[in-house]
Structure 1
Amino acid sequence: MTDATKQKFLVLYLIPASVMGDWAKTDPTIRQAEEQKMQAAWGKWMGEHGKMIISTEVGGKTKRVTASGVSDTKNDIILCSLVEAESHDAAAKAFENHPHLQIPQSSIEIMYVRPMSGM
């Protein structure tokens, strides 16, 4: 499959807010050591799979828009990536052993992105 025929996928990296809150309270020495370990594992993963990543962005404050208006909200998304792969299964398989999954209760969701027609 060529780059022109690869499909695009949105990858969401999630951690429950309660886990993030607990992590912020962790002893800084322990937290720093764990973060360095994860950064090294992430670097290794990127060396093996980085070519599929188009972009990665860090999540921030969230706003919810409804018919009633705009409000502040929270969700479990901490990062998102746009990736290219031959199939949905191939994209998901690449993330099976991702270092993000070392975080308790974390998950990764991969969603097929199709072109929006008629706009």
Structure 2
Amino acid sequence: MKRFLAIYIGTEAALERAQWKELDEEKREALVASGIKAWMEWGTANAAAIVDQGSPLGKTKRASAQGVTDIRNSVTGYVIVHAESHEAAAKLFENHPHFTIFPGDSVEIMECLPLPRR
């Protein structure tokens, strides 16, 4: 089995498209509750493939040759899964609650490659 990192992507544009901020509190709370339930169901259905459940992510700092700075990106969370192929890993996220209920943009899936050996 190969290991894959899946990152949840969310942008302000997705929030606007979903009109998430315009929803009244009761409607938004109902969507959040149904989204959490659906996410947990996704986790249960895919438990055998999940290596690390991951978590939501907070604010970002960038460390570079120029120093450390605060930045903003569209990565909102992650999970690590096992699958036979890249295609199989991606299929785990079809119709995921991140973008079918919550106002997320997408889930990006990439293989975790082995470190080169000397």
TM-score band by shorter chain is 0.7 to 0.9
In structure 1, distance between residues paired with 2:43 and 2:14:
25
TM-score (norm 1): 0.83
| Residues 98 and 104 in structure 2, CA contact (< 8 A), matched pair in contact too | no
In structure 2, distance between residues paired with 1:45 and 1:105:
16
Output the amino acid matched with 1:117: P
Cα offset, 1:29, TM superposition: 1.4
**Higher helix proportion:** 1
User: Are 1:74 and 2:69 counterparts?
Assistant: no
User: Are 1:46 and 2:43 counterparts?
Assistant: yes
| Residues 17 and 75 in structure 1, CA contact (< 8 A), matched pair in contact too | no
User: For the aligned residues, what is the CA RMSD?
Assistant: 2.1
Percent identity reads 37
- Provide the residue aligned with 2:95 in structure 1: 97
- Provide the residue aligned with 1:115 in structure 2: 114
Consecutive aligned runs of 4 or more in structure 1 exceeding 3 Å deviation: 17-26
User: Are 1:15 and 2:14 counterparts?
Assistant: no
| Cα pair distance change 1:104/1:24, threshold 3 Å | closer
Output the amino acid matched with 1:108: V
